């Protein structure tokens, strides 16, 4: 973790409280992807590989949604509170746009 | 690779010709997921993490589509050719249904 | 429009300012779906029908994202401002959860 | 239905046997989209509109999958049978690629 990073966003993210849970879930997903590579190595049936990929998609979606929920509750709502009155609308609008764009990328 | 596996599906999958390419792509995706876990560890900004998850989704979709294409060209078309006349329709129908179900799981 | 509806949500939605634009877009999507039914009626090629369905999916996604953006900027942020202090956290959390659940249904 | 269309694809599509069922389903989806436009007109709550859009997405996915299944079983397998030996591989490969591209557009 770089010092810069720490100062830019010091413990302030939506997901911070559940950091370890997210790392565990991502570790598990990493293992699932490794398992899929092994299935290819072992010449497993295409359909079974596709089923495992669908499971990884689903697990990643769940992680994304968790991050979205915590981001909205923390960062977007936080922007609404923290900003000074003159800047508020602009800053909140920018945060909402940023979150929506991220959601759009998840929807593809 | 277990002997059983080899005998069950001896080199016969759609993706066999590109096995190493698939393993490389899955290795890269595994690395991307590990990178996302590291972003959480380093308290990166939620939106940047979501962007990386969207990139993994996209990479997995590309792998899925490749597998679907090779499965259709190899296994489904193969079933149409290999089966004896009496069983053919039934076997092809079963293969097509199996492939469609797998595609449905990818569409979620 | 029922009186009840008006009193329940009097002009207060995120999308209200763009109501007519949304109605036009949905009218166009309705026409696209009607066009797909006509393609079936006229025995058009399956792949061309699938391509049109993909276009409708895309148009619906764009509408969804617009609604999500306006909902977040209006209703979620609004909840953060409007609620009394004691109830605020609870109300904002409920609004954020509701929005995330809706996004989850769009991701399927 | 134009004469040209009839002669180009005379009753030969995967979905032909279920043509009326598809038209009914698409009619229903068209009505759902019209209902969403009415919800906007009546200032319904954003989340309820998003829920209805998710329902339309789901209904369209089901129609797509049905068409994919029938296309694979009819047109792709049909190509494998109909083509002369010299052209067969090429034609089947083209059909499989076309189907996969269509599936890819559904996955977005």
Instruction: Kindly report the nearest CA distance between residue A97 and chain C, in angstroms.
Output: 7
Instruction: Kindly report the nearest CA distance between residue B96 and chain A, in angstroms.
Output: 11
Per-residue pLDDT, B4: 38
- Asked if residue D79 lies in contact with residue D91, where contact means CB atoms within 8 angstroms, the answer is yes
| pLDDT of residue D21 exceeding 60 | yes
Closest CA to D26 of D67, D66, D70, D60: D60
| pLDDT of residue B2 exceeding 50 | no
Per-residue pLDDT, D62: 96
| pLDDT of residue C102 exceeding 50 | yes
| pLDDT of residue C10 exceeding 60 | no
pLDDT tens digit string along D27-79?
A: 999 999 999 999 999 999 999 999 999 999 999 999 999 999 999 988 888 87
For chain D, list the contacting chains (3+ Cβ pairs, <8 Å). Answer: A, B, C
Per-residue pLDDT, D7: 40
Per-residue pLDDT, C3: 38
Choose between A82 and B104: higher pLDDT. Answer: B104
| pLDDT of residue C12 exceeding 80 | no
Instruction: Kindly report the nearest CA distance between residue B100 and chain D, in angstroms.
Output: 6
Per-residue pLDDT, B60: 97
Close Cβ partners of C40 (under 8 Å, ≥ 6 residues apart): C49, D15, D19, D22, D23, D26
What is the chain B residue with the closest CA to D79? B77
Could you tell me how many CB contacts below 8 A there are between chain B and chain C?
3
Could you tell me how many CB contacts below 8 A there are between chain A and chain C?
56
- Asked if residue C72 lies in contact with residue A96, where contact means CB atoms within 8 angstroms, the answer is yes
What is the chain C residue with the closest CA to D57? C57
C108 neighbourhood in chain B, CB within 8 Å: 107-108
Would you call A30 and B44 a contact, using CB atoms and an 8 Å cutoff? no
User: Touching check for A99 and chain C: CB below 8 Å?
Assistant: yes
User: Touching check for A94 and chain B: CB below 8 Å?
Assistant: no
- Asked if residue C64 lies in contact with residue D53, where contact means CB atoms within 8 angstroms, the answer is yes
Would you call A69 and C96 a contact, using CB atoms and an 8 Å cutoff? yes
Percent of chain D with pLDDT over 70: 83
φ, ψ for residue A38, nearest 5 deg: -65, -35
What is the chain D residue with the closest CA to B71? D96
**Spatial distance between the Cα atoms of C105 and D55, rounded to a whole number of angstroms:** 9
pLDDT tens digit string along B66-83?
A: 999 999 988 888 887 775
B72 neighbourhood in chain D, CB within 8 Å: 72, 76, 96, 99-100
pLDDT tens digit string along C24-40?
A: 999 999 999 999 999 99
Please spell the DSSP secondary structure of B65-87, one letter per residue.
HHHHHHHIIIIIHHHHHHS-HHH
Instruction: Kindly report the nearest CA distance between residue A79 and chain D, in angstroms.
Output: 22
Per-residue pLDDT, D16: 83
Give pTM, 2 decimals: 0.87
In the predicted model, what is the mean pLDDT of chain D?
86
- Asked if residue A47 lies in contact with residue C89, where contact means CB atoms within 8 angstroms, the answer is no
Per-residue pLDDT, C86: 65
What is the chain C residue with the closest CA to A94? C73
Distances (CA, A) of A87 to A13, A81, B84: 21, 11, 74
Per-residue pLDDT, A12: 65
Could you tell me how many CB contacts below 8 A there are between chain A and chain D?
3
DSSP state of A13: -
Would you call D43 and C11 a contact, using CB atoms and an 8 Å cutoff? yes
Instruction: Kindly report the nearest CA distance between residue B50 and chain C, in angstroms.
Output: 14
Give the one of D37, D56, D67 whose C-beta lies nearest to C49's C-beta: D67
Which of B6-15, B72-81, B93-102, C70-79 shows the highest mean pLDDT? B93-102
For chain C, list the contacting chains (3+ Cβ pairs, <8 Å). Answer: A, B, D
Assign D14 to helix, strand or coil: coil
ipTM field: 0.85
φ, ψ for residue D12, nearest 5 deg: -100, 10
**Spatial distance between the Cα atoms of C46 and B85, rounded to a whole number of angstroms:** 27
Would you call D76 and B81 a contact, using CB atoms and an 8 Å cutoff? no
Distance, CA of C29 to chain centre? 13
User: Touching check for A68 and chain C: CB below 8 Å?
Assistant: yes
What is the chain B residue with the closest CA to D95? B73
Q: Please give the average pLDDT of every successive group of 10 residues along chain A, which has 108 residues.
A: 41 81 97 98 95 97 96 85 70 92 93
Instruction: Kindly report the nearest CA distance between residue D21 and chain A, in angstroms.
Output: 29
In the predicted model, what is the mean pLDDT of chain C?
86
Per-residue pLDDT, B28: 98
φ, ψ for residue B83, nearest 5 deg: -70, 150
Per-residue pLDDT, D92: 87
């Amino acid at each position: 973790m770089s010092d810069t990073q720490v100062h830019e966003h010091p413990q302030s993210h939506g997901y911070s409280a559940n950091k370890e849970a997210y790392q565990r879930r991502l570790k598990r997903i990493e293992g699932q992807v490794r398992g899929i590579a092994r299935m290819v190595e072992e010449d497993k049936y295409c359909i079974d590989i596709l089923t495992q990929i669908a499971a990884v998609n689903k697990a990643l979606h769940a992680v994304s949604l968790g991050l979205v929920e915590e981001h909205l509750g923390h960062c977007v709502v936080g922007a609404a509170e923290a900003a000074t009155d003159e800047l508020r609308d602009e800053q909140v609008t920018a945060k909402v746009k940023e979150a929506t764009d991220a959601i759009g990328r998840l929807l593809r």
